[in-house]
Structure 1
């Protein structure tokens, strides 16, 4: 038994945390294998922090923060980073928003300056907001034309009754189109503060010099007020929910979701093992049953790891001519087998070996490592990532059977079907009397 923390210590220093007086947390991890640095700023804000009327605003704000700031006119951030050879982007999730640069270590100061200015000096003007609303609206419409996205969005909205996880990160089109400069500035001024952010920096640098450089640009930013707490608690589901969607498409899809606990709950680890036994690789139970069994063309399962309780989900696309009920029943039959018989020792060992190999591989990439540490720190603690394998190895076969029985119950389930109808043009042609 050994943890990833022990493995890391053989080849590099362990991550170190420094907290500035304004509350900014800085996680540093030196890796001198190449003259590259990954610089990230993670904000503990996402769709979880939204409410009806402003859904999608976290994602919209992420887009807007590539526009102008006090010290960078429109287009300058993109131009300067490209000129310095940086790869850069941003991402919004349910619990977080992250901005990052992958840049030569001797040019990292450029990224630090930009991110510090982005934290407090965004202009968020109406002239910049209007075209961005069009872009985000277009993204939403693309998603709405993808049956799988549409189905899982509706399953999520049905599974959750009160918690903000019930809406997608992209938000509701009506809410997005009604965002004003005042609304987005209020949201920005509520959540974009050093005391709601964590800097993650991994790569070729010297720690003391890097902390000094970060202090130079972030240290004078004032601490913000306390961040509003998300107080919504999703009530226990008391019975199965089912939805049926029909729309234009070429295939039928099924989605099934079960409520599971938050990332810090110990049951997450046996749920991860259960998930991998069901779906990881061509020898997994569902691959053999659904794909080799000619029921599904593709399928995907996931254990959501969230700050608040998430979902265990499966999404499958039926082969032509296969009824969705056959896929649904096959899935439930495999679940019942595990509830009655458990998983085999061979399956368990295979999951641990495959997961271990993936983690050891990922740690060799400073980009993968920075993302893993950042996500863990925002959702729980960076130690969640370091100790992940050790905690996974503590799982027993009995634990997997127990969580399957506890969480994958019909009363805790939301099931959705998407069945295609002919495209509008074909329908009109068929309905025409001429």
Structure 2
């Protein structure tokens, strides 16, 4: 029992190693449960696609669950389910990631499965055709969410050149036209040890975790180095606007985005605090989730103008968006809520948070950050996320940067991004069926 209560601090340093084939590996010893969580992060996502291939990285993620010559379709799921494992994958604008959290004694099995599908995935015509229908259905399901629909359009309008405009899941037409040959070429190009990194956290010495991973992945061959996408977003010279009209019973929504820096920027911790001040932070919500004490909640929900609010700053490889969102109450107009949001954003640029408010924001932000590293699975994920965006080289570094944020840092960060030239405004207007 004493061992279960011995939760390691977020300041624990990782052990790191680079293999001859280019794979970079990091291990965190975490002794509070007899499990191991391993994550393989590939440096490929929506930003690596061009018009005509949008959604290819996400489509390929699905195909990596269709088996290899050694482990036919369904074998991975059966093995992991037998051991009571947790496993999944996701694709973002920046990366594609696969993970398993398994009993510590099954760590070699999970390693073998991931090393196998890094280079040996079976991507057949039949499975491609079947999965295409699944992904089209997934796309159509997302289109039923007005917040997603508006956010996708806001993102497309915000970026005139950078591939962030394309999102992740891709257009329905591109998904329907995706070929097995295109998917396989994308796979062979991007799924290689020198275009990936490996994160493991678990119940064993860090060096032992790395030794086992090196045995599994070290035999794989590297591919030719991949040049990162080169499509920097040009300056924006004025506010952009988009209106989405869609039949349905949903409430009106407004989203206001401002161009924001990448995760490696010195302002990133202060912008994380800014998101908490405006939208709140709750355990499990990262640095941006609704909170009753947050400024937008008090200005919009407490006054009866909105049913819910949010403010988000995401850690990304390249400059992205800081977004404020509100779901309007019936009868409330978009322009009224827009004025209130812009007034609240302007206040953040002109005045520092008071001592009491800043203390609460700081406490919420640090608590949310600590929650993100409280379990072995979340610890490995958060570390990988920081590395993927060059936001920090360790959990400790990121926590220390958050802890060092001052009220003036928050005000200055707000002033640096909240201006008309970097703004994009989106309205969702529900229509009668």
> What is the TM-score when the length of structure 1 is the normalising length?
0.92
Using the TM superposition, name which of 29-38 and 201-210 deviates more. 201-210
280, 289, 304: which one pairs with 1:294? 304
Partners in 1 of 2:319 and 2:12 — Cα distance? 33
Q: How does 1:85-234 map to 2 (within 5 A)?
A: 85-234=84-233
Shift of 1:350: 1.2
Match of 1:60 in 2: 59
Match of 1:345 in 2: 355
Match of 1:258 in 2: 258
Match of 1:18 in 2: 17
Instruction: Please state whether the residue corresponding to 2:81 is helix, strand or coil.
Output: helix
Partners in 2 of 1:11 and 1:255 — Cα distance? 34
Q: How does 1:323-402 map to 2 (within 5 A)?
A: 323-380=333-390, 383=393, 385-402=395-412
Q: CA RMSD in A?
A: 1.8
The Cα offsets for residues 86-124 of structure 1, whole Å up to 9 and x where unpaired, read as 111101111111111111001111111110011000111
Instruction: Please state whether the residue corresponding to 2:178 is helix, strand or coil.
Output: coil
- Say how many residue pairs are matched: 417
Partners in 1 of 2:317 and 2:181 — Cα distance? 29
Match of 2:33 in 1: 34
Partners in 2 of 1:11 and 1:403 — Cα distance? 26
Partners in 2 of 1:171 and 1:100 — Cα distance? 23
Q: Is the 8 A contact 1:254 1:328 kept in 2?
A: yes
Match of 2:279 in 1: 279
The yes-or-no answer on 1:307 pairing with 2:324 is: no
Q: Is the 8 A contact 1:151 1:417 kept in 2?
A: yes
Q: Is the 8 A contact 1:259 1:407 kept in 2?
A: yes
The yes-or-no answer on 1:318 pairing with 2:328 is: yes
Query: Between Structure 1 and Structure 2, which shows a larger proportion of helix residues?
Result: 1
Using the TM superposition, name which of 180-189 and 338-347 deviates more. 338-347
Q: Is the 8 A contact 2:252 2:328 kept in 1?
A: yes
The Cα offsets for residues 132-159 of structure 1, whole Å up to 9 and x where unpaired, read as 0000000111111221111110011000
Change (3 A) 1:298 1:43: same
- For structure 1, the residue ranges without an aligned partner over 5 or more in a row are 1-6, 424-434
Change (3 A) 1:192 1:410: same
The Cα offsets for residues 159-202 of structure 1, whole Å up to 9 and x where unpaired, read as 00000100121111111111111100110011100011111111
Partners in 1 of 2:47 and 2:221 — Cα distance? 25
Match of 1:240 in 2: 239
Shift of 1:12: 8.2
The Cα offsets for residues 325-374 of structure 1, whole Å up to 9 and x where unpaired, read as 11111101112222233321222111111222233333331111111011
Partners in 2 of 1:11 and 1:52 — Cα distance? 41
Shift of 1:284: 1.3
Partners in 2 of 1:356 and 1:73 — Cα distance? 44
Q: Is the 8 A contact 1:12 1:30 kept in 2?
A: no
The yes-or-no answer on 1:406 pairing with 2:405 is: no
Q: Is the 8 A contact 1:12 1:31 kept in 2?
A: no
Partners in 1 of 2:9 and 2:177 — Cα distance? 53
